[in-house]
Structure 1
Amino acid sequence: MPEGKIVKALSGFYYVISNGELTQCRGRGIFRKNKITPLVGDEVVFQAENEREGYILEVKDRKNELVRPPIANVDQAILVFSAVEPDFSTTLLDRFLVLVEFNRISPLICITKIDLTDEKQMKAVVEYADQYKEIGYDVLLTSSETETGIEALSPHIENKISVFAGQSGVGKSSLLNVLRPDLDIKTDHISSHLGRGKHTTRHVELITVGNGLIADTPGFSSLEFTDIEAEDLPFCFPEIAKEGENCKFRACLHISEPKCAVKAAVESKVIPDYRYKHYVDFLQEIKERKPRY
């Protein structure tokens, strides 16, 4: 039986690429029975009824999967955040980073629209970029309009499955249009009333860029930590995980425990205040989460 990769899912059909050929497939009824939903990025075994249509028979084991956006086997998450319009949000970025770290996906922070910043805004963005670099993250400053930073972005995409994720209206589709001008993906301006862009991307699809694949995904503005437990959260903040090794108690959650190395690192400015605040807020959110049955 042929094997391939799902590169698009739309209206109950899965589009599988194998040896350069695209086959439109449906999932077997057994998937519904076993509560398996094939995802874009899945490696699958399929049966071709003819040259263009077939059925997915088996979904191979995944190395990871995301729920929003629904995609599997991701190597890298390119977290696209605008410097302005909408304004850069460390809170939202940290939510994305926690989800990505929890799923063991390598993040790349891409701050767009730097051409729209004034001197003060640019200074603030550079300071944030430096702080995230200090933590160990790769950060790129880009502009789709002037194509600043695009050359630096391209090598990160080679031979990887990357997911573009971020708030609506930050310029994900515009970046993809620069990387592959022939795509001509529809983009909308920011709504001045809502301060966010319209949802111009309707489905998840893997797009070939150079020797890599990029998923353009629907934008969204909030994330829930559905599967993350309180004891997992410290390890989703690399700098907190690192400093936490020096805490007196092994299971320290870095809130009210004595001799906490993380709180000491916050006081001495080794860990930025806003990162610790987000950690505390997220921890509270996880603790207050309603149990699932």
Structure 2
Amino acid sequence: MTEGKIIKALSGFYYVLSDGKMIQCRGRGVFRKNKITPLVGDNVIFQADNDKEGYIMEIKSRKNELVRPPIANIDQAILIFSSTEPDFSPVLLDRFLVIVESSEIHPIICVTKADLLSEQERSEVNHYLEYYRSIGYEVLLLSSKTEEGINELHPLLNGKTSVFAGQSGVGKSSLINAFDPSLQIKTDEISSHLGRGRHTTRHVELIEVCGGLVADTPGFSSLDFTEIEAEDLGYTFPEISKKAEECKFRGCLHDNEPKCAVKNAVEKNEISKERYNHYLQFLQEIKERKPRY
């Protein structure tokens, strides 16, 4: 038996890369019985009678996984957001950051279409980005057309398994094509009727880019906080997590509790009021979530 990594899943087949060769595999029935699904990114043990077809026998332990998109063993998430067309959305970015942080995946924030910004618009976007930098996030302003910022992102991909994620129509596929035009990943324009991007990626696949592996995915089909508990939400906001150590009461949710260091920091403008309001919005969603059985 041989070890390899699943780099593509399509129509019930898993394409395993091992020693430079691609083996088309099926999963053993025991996986279905135990309700285990092999994921792109999984390190696996497989058995093959020839160099084309085989069976996955074992899935090695995962360091993390995402459900939608279904992918495992991610080092970092490149969160791609548009500065315009569609407009930059801080609340959506914070939603992505919470999901990525809760999965213990390192996020890098990339804002695309910088070439379309006027000076005033660039100033407004930079206002948001500077705050994210101040709380410890790596932030890049990019343009696939002018290649602004592309060289800064190159070395961050080397030796890493990265997932590109973000809203539709923000230029994820265009950005990957900018790294390697030979890939020719399908892109599409924003739908003028719907006002949002059309999905152009239909399956999850790991692609060799800039010395690392990049997952081109259909995007996050769900941004619900189904796996996050109310008491854990604050840990996904770095500035709230840090300030929470000074709260009077242990387990403070930074909502209605007295002597809350986080609320005090918001009042003093040490923590962004907008980010804090997003935190409260997400907290309410989690509290109103239907219980799981």
Give 1:119 shift. 1.7
How far, CA to CA, are the matches of 1:214 and 1:180 in structure 2?
12
Q: Deviations over 1:198-245 (max 9, x none)?
A: 110000000001220000111347500011000110001000000111
Secondary structure of the residue aligned to 2:162 is strand
TM-score normalised by length of structure 2: 0.99
In structure 2, the residue corresponding to 1:275 is in which secondary structure? Answer: helix
Cα 1:222–1:14 shift into 2, 3 Å:
closer
Q: Which residue of 2 aligns with 1:117?
A: 117
CA distance in 1 between counterparts of 2:218 and 2:274 reads: 27
1:110, distance to aligned residue in structure 2 (A): 0.3
Match of 2:161 in 1: 161
SS in 1 for 2:263: helix
Q: How does 1:1-293 map to 2 (within 5 A)?
A: 1-220=1-220, 222-293=222-293
Q: Which runs of 4+ in 1 moved over 6 A?
A: none
* Amino acid aligned to 1:105: I
SS at match of 1:9: strand
CA contact (8 A) 1:169 1:197 kept: yes
SS in 2 for 1:22: strand
> Displacement of 1:193 after TM fit?
2.0
Residue 49 of structure 1 and its aligned partner are, at CA, apart by 2.4
Q: What RMSD, in angstroms, separates the aligned Cα atoms of the two structures?
A: 0.8
Q: CA deviation at 1:135?
A: 0.8
Could you tell me how far apart the structure 2 residues matched to 1:192 and 1:161 are?
34
Give the secondary structure class of the aligned counterpart of 2:266: helix
What is the TM-score normalised by the length of structure 1? 0.99
- Matched residue SS, 1:111: strand
Give the SS at the match of 2:175.
helix
The Cα shift of 1:51 comes to: 1.1
Deviations 1:128-147 (A, max 9, x none): 11000001000000000111
1:191 touches 1:197 (CA, 8 Å); kept in 2? yes
Residue 168 of structure 1 contacts residue 221 of structure 1 at CA under 8 Å; is this kept in 2? Answer: no
Structure 1 residues 170 and 221, CA, compared in 2 at 3 Å: closer, same or farther?
farther
Unaligned ranges ≥5, structure 1 = none
Q: How much has 1:273 moved relative to structure 2? A: 1.0
Q: Secondary structure at the match of 1:245?
A: helix
Letter paired with 1:180:
D
User: C-alpha displacement at 1:35, in angstroms?
Assistant: 0.3
Query: Does the Cα contact within 8 Å between 1:166 and 1:221 map onto a contact in 2?
Result: no
